[in-house]
A and B are shown apart, each in its own frame.
Chain A
Amino acid sequence: MRLNDFFLITFLSVREQPLRSFLTALGIAVGISAVVLLTSLGEGLHRFVLSEFTQFGTNLIAINPGKKSTLGVSGAVISNVRPLSIDDADALSMLPGVIKSQPVIQGNAAVEAGKRQRRTTVFGVGSDTPEVWQLSVAAGHFLPNDPPRNARPYAVLGSRLRKELFKQEPFLGKRLRIGGEVYRVIGGMESKGQMLGFDLDDAVYLPIAKAMSMFNRESLMEIDLLYDKDHSAESITIAASKMLKKRHGSEDFTITTQEQMLETLGSVLNILTIAVGALGGISLVVGGVGIFTIMTIAVNERRAEIGLLCALGASRQLVRLLFLGEAITLSLLGGLAGLILGVGCALGLALLVPALPIHTSWGFVAAAELIAVLVGLGAGVLPANNAASLPPVEALRAE
Chain B
Amino acid sequence: MIELLNIERVFLVGDEEVHALRQISFDVATGEYVAIMGSSGSGKSTLLNILGLLDRPDSGVYQLDSQRVSELDEDHLAEVRRHQIGFVFQFFHLIPRLTAFENVELPLTLAGVAPSLRKQKVTDALAAFGLRDRARHRPAQLSGGQRQRVAIARATIMEPKIILADEPTGNLDSSSGSEVINILEELNRLGITVIMVTHDHAIGARASRIIRMADGRIESDSRHR
Partner-B contacts on A (CB < 8 A): 1-2, 5, 9, 12-13, 15-16, 304-305, 307-318, 391-393, 396, 399
Stretch at the interface among B31-39, B93-101, B125-133: B93-101
Contact yes or no, B109 A2, CB < 8 A: yes
Contacts of A9 in B (CB 8 A): 109
Contacts of B204 in A (CB 8 A): none
| Complex CA–CA separation, A195 to B74 (angstroms) | 69
| Complex CA–CA separation, A317 to B73 (angstroms) | 13
Contact yes or no, B81 A311, CB < 8 A: yes
Kindly list 4 other residue pairs between chains A and B, CB separation below 8 angstroms, not including A313-B79, A313-B158.
Answer: A309-B110, A313-B83, A392-B55, A396-B89
| Complex CA–CA separation, A186 to B49 (angstroms) | 102
Nearest A residue to B46 via CB reads A393
Contact yes or no, A312 B81, CB < 8 A: yes
Contact yes or no, B97 A16, CB < 8 A: yes
Contact yes or no, B95 A308, CB < 8 A: yes
> B65-96: which have CB < 8 Å to A?
74-75, 78-83, 85, 87, 89, 91, 93, 95-96
Contact yes or no, A393 B55, CB < 8 A: yes
Contacts of B75 in A (CB 8 A): 315-317
Q: Is B111 an interface residue (CB 8 A)?
A: yes
Contact yes or no, B93 A307, CB < 8 A: yes
| Complex CA–CA separation, A148 to B111 (angstroms) | 90
Q: Is B43 an interface residue (CB 8 A)?
A: no
Contact yes or no, A2 B112, CB < 8 A: yes
A-B pairs with beta carbons under 8 Å apart, 17 shown: A2-B112, A5-B112, A12-B98, A15-B97, A304-B91, A305-B95, A311-B52, A312-B82, A312-B87, A312-B107, A312-B154, A313-B158, A316-B75, A391-B55, A392-B54, A393-B55, A396-B54
The answer, among A1, A304, A309, A399, for a CB contact under 8 Å with B112, is: A1
Q: Is B106 an interface residue (CB 8 A)?
A: yes
The answer, among A13, A312, A316, for a CB contact under 8 Å with B110, is: A312
Count of A-B residue pairs with CB < 8 Å: 77
| Complex CA–CA separation, A316 to B76 (angstroms) | 11
| Complex CA–CA separation, A9 to B109 (angstroms) | 9
Nearest B residue to A9 via CB reads B109
| Complex CA–CA separation, A313 to B87 (angstroms) | 10
Among A304, A313, A318, residue most surrounded by chain B Cβ atoms (within 10 Å): A313
Contact yes or no, A314 B110, CB < 8 A: yes
Nearest B residue to A395 via CB reads B54
Among A1, A16, A304, A396, residue most surrounded by chain B Cβ atoms (within 10 Å): A396
Contacts of B91 in A (CB 8 A): 304, 399
Known: A12-B97, A312-B82. A1 touches B109 (CB 8 A): yes
CB distance from A385 to the nearest CB of B (A): 14
CB distance from B195 to the nearest CB of A (A): 14
Contacts of B106 in A (CB 8 A): 312
Please provide the 7 A-B residue pairs with the shortest distance between their CB atoms, ordered closest to farther: A313-B82, A16-B97, A313-B81, A315-B78, A392-B54, A308-B93, A311-B87
| Complex CA–CA separation, A109 to B28 (angstroms) | 110
Contact yes or no, B78 A5, CB < 8 A: no
CB distance from B18 to the nearest CB of A (A): 14
Contact yes or no, B97 A13, CB < 8 A: yes
Contacts of A15 in B (CB 8 A): 97
Contacts of B78 in A (CB 8 A): 310, 313-316, 318
Contact yes or no, B93 A304, CB < 8 A: yes
CB distance from B37 to the nearest CB of A (A): 20
| Complex CA–CA separation, A316 to B83 (angstroms) | 16
CB distance from A55 to the nearest CB of B (A): 60
Nearest A residue to B75 via CB reads A315
Nearest A residue to B76 via CB reads A315
Contacts of B98 in A (CB 8 A): 12
CB distance from B116 to the nearest CB of A (A): 12
CB distance from A311 to the nearest CB of B (A): 5
Contacts of A16 in B (CB 8 A): 96-97
CB distance from A59 to the nearest CB of B (A): 62
CB distance from B71 to the nearest CB of A (A): 17
Nearest A residue to B164 via CB reads A311
Contacts of B95 in A (CB 8 A): 305, 308
Among A309, A315, A318, residue most surrounded by chain B Cβ atoms (within 10 Å): A315
Nearest A residue to B160 via CB reads A313
CB distance from B118 to the nearest CB of A (A): 9
| Complex CA–CA separation, A305 to B106 (angstroms) | 12
| Complex CA–CA separation, A187 to B154 (angstroms) | 91
Contacts of A316 in B (CB 8 A): 74-75, 78
Among B98, B109, B110, residue most surrounded by chain A Cβ atoms (within 10 Å): B110
Contacts of A393 in B (CB 8 A): 49, 54-55
Contacts of B74 in A (CB 8 A): 315-316
| Complex CA–CA separation, A314 to B154 (angstroms) | 14
